[in-house]
Structure formats: structure tokens, C-alpha cells
């Protein structure tokens, strides 16, 4: 498919919906910038989300992948600078798993820095009236970081 893969998550933590999926699913099948968009919902389960993401990457072979998530309490779109290579769950996932200080990619670096122009992305969003900011990290509660 050489297009765009965009992912969102299923509900978790007792919530009925996950805003990340509610937004993402509306883009499935769209053509943006001449590229077809495919949306996939990821499970909120440590390990399973990465497996599902890798399956979507293998299936679609996208030129761009956007992983969208929910961060309760944030009031704007936050563009992440760093993905920490550790699962350290404050609450259990949807299967009851609660890893503590477990590397996501064994033998990998402690963190992965974005190669995107994150400040330019934030500036572009703001110029369109969309509240946005740079987030230094998504934290340690991420099932696919």
C-alpha cells in the first residue's frame, strides 16, 4: 500500500471510548496529500499492541506511520520528542498485565528520539488554530513505545 498508517487505541482503564481511536477511525480510507490512509486499532495490552502494529506495518508497508494516543488531562495535541524503551505501568492493561521496569526492545537503547521536526509541526498546528505543544516524553505507560 505505500501510504499512511495511523493507529489509535481501544478503550482502557474502565473508559467506554478512547478518543485516539474515535479520531483515527474517521480517517480510514481517506486520501490525504495523495496518499491513502489506513487506520488500525491497537489493543491496550503490553506486547499485543506491538505485535498488532508490526502486523499492520508488514501488511501495509506505509511510507508514514502516525501513532495516536490518549493522555488524560492534556489540553492540546502534544508531539512527542522521546519514546522511552521501558514498560512501567501505573495501572494494569486490558489483560491485567502490569509490567514494572521491563525493556520493550531488549538490548535496545534506553530511549528513541524523534527524527521529525517536532517544533515545526507544533508551529504549523498552532498557525491553524489547533492547540499544540512539544512533549518531552510520552512517559512509561505506553504499550508500543
Is there a contact between 35 and 93 (Cβ–Cβ < 8 Å)?
no
Chain segment 66-96, per-residue pLDDT in tens: 999 988 788 999 999 999 999 888 889 999 9
Answer whether residue 25 is part of any domain: yes
List alpha helices for 27-67, DSSP H: 48-60
pLDDT at 49: 92
| Ranges of the chain with pLDDT below 70 | 1, 139-145
- Angstrom CA distances, 133 to 51, 66, 80, 82, 118, stand at 29, 17, 9, 14, 9
Could you give the strand order of the β-sheet that contains 111-113, starting from the edge strand earlier in sequence? 111-113, 77-84, 132-137
| CB 95 within 8 Å of CB 10 | no
Residue 142 lies in a domain: no
143 belongs to a structural domain: no
> At 54, which CATH number?
3.40.630.20
- The answer to the question of residue 144 being in a domain is no
pLDDT attached to residue 70 = 86
Q: Is the whole model's pTM more than 0.85, yes or no?
A: yes
Q: Looking at the 3D structure of the chain, how many domains does it have?
A: 1
pLDDT at 1: 63
Tell me if residue 80 is catalytic.
yes
Residue 55 falls within a domain, yes or no? yes
Domain encompassing residue 39: 4-137
The pLDDT score that the predictor gives to residue 10 is 96
Residue 94 belongs to some domain of the structure: yes
Tell whether 75 is covered by a domain.
Answer: yes
What distance lies between CA 78 and its chain's CA centroid?
A: 11
Helix (H, G, I), strand (E, B) or coil at 19: helix
Active-site residue among 10, 15, 59, 80? 80
Q: With CA atoms as reference, report the closest residue to 104 among 56, 139, 69, 145.
A: 145
Amino acid at each position: 500500500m505505500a501510504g499512511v498508517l495511523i493507529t489509535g487505541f481501544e478503550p482502557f482503564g474502565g473508559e467506554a471510548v478512547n478518543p485516539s481511536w474515535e479520531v483515527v477511525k474517521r480517517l480510514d480510507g481517506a486520501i490525504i496529500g495523495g496518499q491513502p490512509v489506513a487506520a488500525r486499532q491497537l489493543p491496550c495490552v503490553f506486547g499485543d499492541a506491538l505485535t498488532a502494529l508490526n502486523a499492520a506495518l508488514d501488511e501495509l508497508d506505509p511510507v508514514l506511520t502516525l501513532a495516536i494516543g490518549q493522555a488524560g488531562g492534556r489540553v492540546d495535541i502534544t508531539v512527542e520528542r522521546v519514546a522511552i524503551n521501558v514498560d512501567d505501568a501505573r495501572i494494569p492493561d486490558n489483560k491485567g498485565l502490569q509490567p514494572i521496569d521491563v525493556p520493550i526492545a531488549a538490548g535496545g537503547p534506553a530511549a528513541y528520539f524523534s527524527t521529525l521536526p517536532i517544533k515545526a509541526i507544533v508551529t504549523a498546528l498552532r498557525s491553524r488554530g489547533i492547540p499544540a505543544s512539544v512533549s518531552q516524553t510520552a512517559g512509561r505507560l505506553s504499550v508500543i513505545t
